[in-house]
């Protein structure tokens, strides 16, 4: 019988060591398993790491080369670069089931037992030794490196309670309580944030990585463990919490550098895949590509911003949270106004500031500005840069004078008119408000004639924000939204959009009048 041809259903029917031998089973290391299954996937043109976007030409080939080389792996990169997800997906390259000695603490291979328990059981029962089957999902262990992690946690230690219960002396190997690593024998073991692990604990990994065995204090025990190690870490120059000790780094065979999405399109794929948008939100809120582009642009602006610590990085979680917040802002407005359908607005995008403030680590200059102001500035830059993809460059239009595409709009504000765009405006109020600006609807109709009515309204609001970013009109923050007005008059009456001073009282007085 060829063991490789036995179906998983038939494998589960094998319950003894004798039956396993008869099936033609041969031991295989976990690294060989990963290698063989990767080779099969590559030959069959199957996707090896589905759902991982932007790494097709960089990280994924490096991962595949490391697996083919049967290397231990260190994934080095900034926060939110899918390092842990990559490690978890290695499980799919394991065989679906492997045989273990039933009741074994160390997942002993029936033909290559390690533990005293398994050896004694096989010696006693021979071919009648009970065999259990371990699914690949049970062969993955993950440990976050924290300051309280001890050698006993990872490797093991003598257990006095076990010794007393079994009435065994401390010299007996059976009193050992094995740690996480020995219990991950024949599986994948991941240590997240490796630099956070104390140096003396990192030293305890030397033998495991190089010789593949463990040593537990006071015992002459050598266990040739079979483990695929994967580590994740931030660059050492970023973290002040610790570093990877040089001899340990030397023992990790492949160090793979991860990175952030290199284009907005890749970033959008990641965000839309990971964002948790509930079904009822999808039924109420309609969005568009520009919203997603703006959100991804914010992340790119943050990664280049002088206010944000580049060594810390800007996680993909920022765009995911911002997208969720934007959809929720639109949903909230619809619920308040009793509407069953709504279209996302720029004001919804700007309401996602809370998703940004906790996701970026500011340098000194950023701390002086304040996280909320920095977030608003990043959103403003995103609008400014995306604006040129949809509307003519305002700087070039200034030179055209009478042919200036924005002249009607700016002249209207120059005559002293103002426009309030509030967060909770109903659809009817929003429509009426935007259409009250002369030339705005005509400009959008001319440039985007094929867009539907809701998208045109969105672009009308977007146009006003873009003009404000290019200093053709002013945009000021109100208690419940924004106000657009002439740039010159705003210098004497109201703070700018990024000013954090409260203007609720002034706005309230104007409303009463």
| pLDDT, tens digit (0-9, with 9 covering 90-100), for 251-290 | 999 999 999 999 999 999 999 999 999 999 999 999 999 9
Please report the DSSP string for 468-513 in residue order: HHTTSSEEEE-SSEEEEE-HHHHHHHS--TT--S--HHHHHHHHH-
| pLDDT, tens digit (0-9, with 9 covering 90-100), for 321-345 | 999 999 999 999 999 999 999 999 9
- pLDDT(89) > 60: yes
Name the band, by pLDDT with cuts 50, 70 and 90, for residue 218.
low
**Which structure tokens are listed for 215?**
């040593």
The percent of residues above 90 in pLDDT, for the chain, comes to 70
- In whole angstroms, what is the distance from residue 127 CA to residue 17 CA? 5
- In whole angstroms, what is the distance from residue 248 CA to residue 252 CA? 7
Contacting residues for 309 by C-beta, under 8 A, at least 6 apart = 360, 361, 362, 363, 366
**pLDDT score, position 508:** 43
**Overall average pLDDT of the 61-70 stretch:** 97
- Which residues on neighbouring strands pair with residue 98, listed in sequence order? 134
233 neighbors 75 (Cβ within 8 angstroms): yes
**Which structure tokens are listed for 490?**
């705003």
**pTM (two decimals):** 0.85
């Amino acid at each position: 019988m060829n063991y490789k041809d036995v179906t998983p259903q038939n494998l589960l029917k094998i319950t003894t060591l004798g039956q396993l031998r008869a099936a033609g089973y041969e031991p295989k290391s976990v690294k060989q398993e990963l290698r063989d299954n990767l080779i099969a996937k590559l030959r069959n043109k199957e996707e090896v790491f589905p759902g991982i976007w932007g790494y097709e030409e960089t990280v994924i080939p490096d991962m595949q080369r490391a697996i083919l080389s049967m290397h231990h792996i260190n994934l080095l990169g900034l926060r939110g670069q899918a390092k842990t997800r990559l490690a978890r997906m290695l499980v799919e390259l394991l065989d679906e089931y492997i045989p273990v000695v039933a009741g074994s603490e160390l997942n002993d291979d029936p033909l290559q037992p390690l533990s005293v328990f398994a050896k004694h059981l096989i010696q006693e029962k021979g071919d009648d030794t009970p065999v259990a089957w371990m699914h690949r999902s049970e062969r993955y262990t993950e440990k976050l490196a924290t300051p309280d992690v001890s050698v006993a946690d990872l490797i093991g230690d003598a257990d006095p309670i076990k010794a007393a219960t079994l009435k065994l002396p401390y010299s007996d190997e059976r009193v050992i309580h094995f740690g996480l690593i020995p219990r991950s024998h024949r599986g994948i073991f991941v240590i997240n944030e490796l630099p956070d692990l104390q140096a003396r604990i990192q030293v305890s990994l030397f033998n495991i990585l190089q010789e593949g065995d463990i040593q537990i204090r006071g015992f002459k025990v050598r266990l040739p463990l079979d483990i695929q190690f994967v580590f994740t870490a931030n660059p050492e120059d970023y973290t002040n919490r610790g570093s990877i000790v040089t001899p340990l780094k030397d023992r990790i065979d492949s160090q793979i550098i991860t990175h952030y999405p290199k284009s907005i399109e890749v970033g959008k794929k990641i965000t839309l895949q990971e964002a948790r948008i509930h079904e009822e939100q999808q039924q109420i809120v309609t969005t568009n590509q520009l919203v997603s582009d703006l959100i991804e642009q914010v992340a790119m602006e943050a990664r280049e911003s002088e206010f944000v610590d580049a060594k810390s990085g800007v996680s993909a979680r920022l765009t995911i949270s911002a997208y969720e917040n934007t959809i929720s802002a639109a949903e909230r407005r619809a619920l308040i106004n009793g509407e069953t359908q709504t279209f996302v607005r720029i004001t919804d995008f700007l309401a996602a500031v809370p998703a940004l403030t906790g996701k970026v680590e500011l340098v000194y200059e950023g701390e002086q500005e304040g996280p909320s102001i920095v977030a608003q500035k990043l959103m403003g830059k995103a609008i400014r840069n995306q604006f040129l993809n949809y509307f003519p460059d305002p700087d070039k239009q200034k030179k055209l004078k009478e042919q200036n595409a924005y002249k009607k709009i700016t002249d209207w504000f120059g005559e002293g008119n103002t426009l309030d765009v509030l967060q909770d405006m109903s659809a009817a109020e929003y429509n009426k408000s935007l259409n009250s600006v002369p030339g705005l609807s005509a400009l959008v109709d001319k440039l985007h004639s094929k867009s539907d009515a809701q998208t045109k309204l969105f672009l009308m609001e977007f146009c006003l924000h873009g003009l404000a970013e290019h200093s053709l009109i002013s945009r000021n923050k109100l208690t419940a939204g924004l106000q657009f007005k002439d740039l010159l008059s705003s210098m004497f009456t109201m703070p700018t959009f990024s000013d954090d001073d409260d203007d609720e009282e002034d706005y309230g007085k104007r409303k009463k009048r």
